[in-house]
């Protein structure tokens, strides 16, 4: 029986991954004369940039983490601050609540970013719980974020549906023994997804009552 929806944030609720990808590509081209591929960028999608930076280090391309943050964060905040919610997101959240489901957010980022965006878009009202990197020792693809959300909402993994856009998110959901609905974005569509419960192009395609009945 489905009791809880656990949703990612970046790239699923707001299309921040596309903004980050453009910023990363430009930064590496300008500062390192390196053409960053989408496959390389996907290393950190759903997780954090350190995975990518370690791979770059192994190639002899060292990234000063503090300098990178100083060069990119302000631009990201400015550009992402104008982004709308992705198609179907609010209707999906509203339908989940109307059909008696609890809803949690589980993100590998810190708490401030999703909080700012959810309040800006008037979506915070649909969430019972936010679990972020500040609440666990290990982020995705480890299962800790999803398991913490289930624990706090009093649900078993079998009663939860994870909704994700990234491969790291799918792996984290599977590592938590939860079914995963994958909704790729314009960056993560280049991932090879395997083992998901369902894959669709948009949350606008998802009928929550049917999801509950089929779960």
Structure-block tokens of residue 89: 């997101």
User: For residue 128, which of 158, 150, 143, 157 has the smallest C-alpha distance?
Assistant: 150
Say whether 207 is catalytic. Answer: no
Say whether 51 is catalytic. Answer: no
- Note whether 120 and 54 are within 8 A (CB): no
Q: Considering the candidates 8, 15, 144, 165, report the single residue annotated as catalytic.
A: 8
Bridge partners of residue 7, in order along the sequence: 105, 163
Bridge partners of residue 164, in order along the sequence: 182
Q: Considering the candidates 10, 15, 144, 165, report the single residue annotated as catalytic.
A: 10
> DSSP string spanning 91-129?
HHHHHHHHTT-EEEEE-SS-SHHHHHHHHHTT-GGG-SE
d(CA 46, CA 54): 16
Residues with catalytic annotation? 8, 10
């Amino acid at each position: 029986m489905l009791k809880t929806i656990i949703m990612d944030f970046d790239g699923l609720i707001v299309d921040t991954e596309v903004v980050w990808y453009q910023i990363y590509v430009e930064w590496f081209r300008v500062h390192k004369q390196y053409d960053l591929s989408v496959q390389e960028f996907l290393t950190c999608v759903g997780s954090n940039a350190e995975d990518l930076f370690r791979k770059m280090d192994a190639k002899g391309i060292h990234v000063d983490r503090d300098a990178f943050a100083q060069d990119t964060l302000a631009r990201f905040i400015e550009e992402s601050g104008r982004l709308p919610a992705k198609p179907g997101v609010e209707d999906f959240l509203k339908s989940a609540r109307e059909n008696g489901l609890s809803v949690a957010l589980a993100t590998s980022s810190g708490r401030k970013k999703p909080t700012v965006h959810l309040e800006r878009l008037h979506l915070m009202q649909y969430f019972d719980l936010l679990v972020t990197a500040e609440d666990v020792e290990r982020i995705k693809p480890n299962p800790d974020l999803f398991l913490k959300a289930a624990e706090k909402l009093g649900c078993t993994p079998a009663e939860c549906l994870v909704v994700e856009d990234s491969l790291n998110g799918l792996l984290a959901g599977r590592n938590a023994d939860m079914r995963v609905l994958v909704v790729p974005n314009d960056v993560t569509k280049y991932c090879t997804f395997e083992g998901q419960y369902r894959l669709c192009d948009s949350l606008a395609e998802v009928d929550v009552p049917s999801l509950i009945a089929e779960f």
